[in-house]
Amino acid sequence: MASFRRLDSLADSDLRGKRVLVREDLNVPLAAPSGEGGASTPLIGDDTRIRAALPTLRYLRDRGARVIIASHLGRPKGPDPRLSLAPVAARLSELLGVEARLAPDSVGPEVLELTGAMLDGSVVLLENIRFHLEEEKNDPAFARQLAELADLYVNDAFGTAHRAHASTEGVAHLLPAVAGFLMSRELEALGQILEQPRRPFWAIIGGAKVSTKIGVIRHLGAKVDGLVIGGAMAFTFLQAQGHATGKSLVEADQIPIAREILADFERRGVPLLLPRDSVVAPSLDAPAAGIVGLDIPADQIGVDIGPESIEAIGHALGSAGAILWNGPMGVFERPDFAKGTLAVARILSERTREGATTVVGGGDSVAALEQSGEAEHVTHVSTGGGASLEFLEGRVLPGVAALSPQEARRS
């Protein structure tokens, strides 16, 4: 994997009076309006992604740039007023302390006129970029329309960097293109822990399906000094070892791959920790029925790791110099099934306080970290989701490669 920390930086750019097209990931969760006072505009359920964009946007404004922001919201199949960026524009205006004017579209004559009349330090938010189907097709003509709006392109949307879309990849070939501060921070944090981690380096991988994490496990396998596997995906590995897994989720077609991974770790003498006990329930809708050891009764489902497993993880990570966490240990959305996941969050927090580098990536593990109240006590929390996962698999992200094609080719 190439080091991406040498990308051209926003800090190297002459900005005053320049129209700067900034790709941000403002795909925030929306909630239905309360209806009080006849309100019909959706409410923002979590503004974390908007706040993450502020350092780049403030830097641009402070240096006299004319800031044009592009983002998607949801998965529209054409213009959809329910997925307008209007609530994002309102919240962004509050946080920036200056109006982020919502454009009527993302391209076209009206948008050209609006952006052409901007003053230094002003902000325009283009309407949902995915209202145009050409965006996800990376249509060259659509990319040229976007490029026509600006003098400089800044990609600050790490969360969409794994998509070769017009606003994430196509336009970067048509304008001088640099990385924003969020993008740079993500690449540096993830690149550092993968390529130059403090030792011992441990990874914790969880989630529902082995099939979605095989690439990550294999890529990390050659880099880590130890690996913890939890969540429902652990039951495929436990069944590969001959243990009973009850009604727990097992991907039968992945059992041979799980055996290969177990054998590889054993051959190289690298510890691979699987759950030693599990919290079980008769169904995901039922209360927890108790804690069992390695073998799960036929009428039960494993829903969380048990106390013995938590203790083993804490002991293994007690001397870790770097820890990477991707994926929960159980069905953490249920409070009675969340103890293992929240315990891992606390372990990372403790190790950070003791000097370890801790990086958390993936939507569910980030949500669990927020739920635990420990998000401020880890080294880096990735906003990436799918992009984080692909980066951890060792893939080149199209949105990053477009900013630094020479380095990408050396990967």
Placement of tokens 């706040």 in the chain: 51
Placement of tokens 């919240």 in the chain: 91
Q: For residue 399, is it within any domain?
A: no
379/258 same-domain check: yes
Q: Of 18-27, 83-92, 358-367, which range is least confident?
A: 358-367
The answer, yes or no, to whether residue 37 has pLDDT greater than 60, is no
- Residue 350's alpha-carbon distances to 44, 91, 113, 364, in angstroms, are 32, 34, 53, 20
231/180 same-domain check: no
For this structure, is 213 an active site residue?
no
* Number of other residues whose CB lies within 10 A of the CB of residue 72: 26
Q: List the one residue out of 228, 404, 392, 388 whose CA is nearest residue 316.
A: 228
Amino acid at 59: Y
* Tens-place pLDDT, residues 152-203: 999 999 989 999 999 999 999 999 999 999 999 999 999 999 999 999 999 9
- Residue 141's alpha-carbon distances to 103, 108, 151, 172, 344, in angstroms, are 20, 12, 17, 13, 48
Q: For residue 3, is it within any domain?
A: no
32/144 same-domain check: yes
* Marked catalytic residue, from 215, 221, 321, 386: 386
The secondary element (H helix, E strand) that includes residue 305 is strand 301-305
Q: For residue 237, is it within any domain?
A: yes
The answer, yes or no, to whether residue 389 has pLDDT greater than 90, is no
pLDDT at 353: 94
Q: List the one residue out of 26, 46, 32 whose CA is nearest residue 366.
A: 46
CA distance 352 to 369: 14
pLDDT at 38: 47
Please give the mean pLDDT across all residues of the chain: 91
Mark which of 144, 160, 184 sits at the end of a domain: 184
294/171 same-domain check: no
Q: What is the mean pLDDT of residues 364-384?
A: 83
Q: For residue 410, is it within any domain?
A: no
Rg (CA), the chain: 23
Mark which of 133, 149, 184 sits at the end of a domain: 184
Cβ atoms of residues 186 and 382 within 8 Å: yes
* Tens-place pLDDT, residues 242-267: 999 999 999 999 999 999 999 999 99
Percentage with pLDDT > 90 across the chain: 77
Q: For residue 27, is it within any domain?
A: yes
143/258 same-domain check: no
226/180 same-domain check: no
Q: Comparing 365 with 145, which gets the higher pLDDT?
A: 145
* Tens-place pLDDT, residues 318-358: 999 999 999 999 999 899 999 999 999 999 999 999 999 99
- 92 token code pair: 């962004």
Domain count within the chain:
2
Q: What is the mean pLDDT of residues 15-26?
A: 96
Cβ atoms of residues 358 and 371 within 8 Å: no
For this structure, is 363 an active site residue?
yes
25/87 same-domain check: yes
For this structure, is 267 an active site residue?
no
220/152 same-domain check: no
171/259 same-domain check: no
CATH of the domain at 149: 3.40.50.1260
Cβ atoms of residues 223 and 194 within 8 Å: yes
* Marked catalytic residue, from 5, 58, 101, 209: 209
218/139 same-domain check: no
For this structure, is 49 an active site residue?
yes
Cβ atoms of residues 218 and 340 within 8 Å: no
pLDDT at 7: 61
* Marked catalytic residue, from 223, 363, 394, 395: 363
Q: For residue 40, is it within any domain?
A: yes
Q: List the one residue out of 148, 106, 138, 146 whose CA is nearest residue 124.
A: 106
Mark which of 184, 207, 235 sits at the end of a domain: 184
321/210 same-domain check: yes
Q: What is the mean pLDDT of residues 364-369?
A: 79
The answer, yes or no, to whether residue 409 has pLDDT greater than 80, is no
pLDDT at 8: 66
Query: Residue 226 — φ and ψ, nearest 5°?
Result: -175, 150
Cβ atoms of residues 211 and 331 within 8 Å: no
Placement of tokens 């540096």 in the chain: 188
CA 167 to chain centre: 18
Q: Of 4-13, 52-61, 103-112, 396-405, which range is least confident?
A: 4-13
* Tens-place pLDDT, residues 164-174: 999 999 999 99
* Marked catalytic residue, from 23, 49, 185, 213: 49
CA distance 240 to 364: 26
Q: For residue 409, is it within any domain?
A: no
Which residue range is the domain that position 326 belongs to?
197-392
Q: For residue 192, is it within any domain?
A: no
CA distance 214 to 153: 35
The answer, yes or no, to whether residue 5 has pLDDT greater than 90, is no
CB-based burial, 248-269: b 16+ in 10 Å, e otherwise: bbbbeebbebbeebbeebeeee
pLDDT at 372: 81
253/305 same-domain check: yes
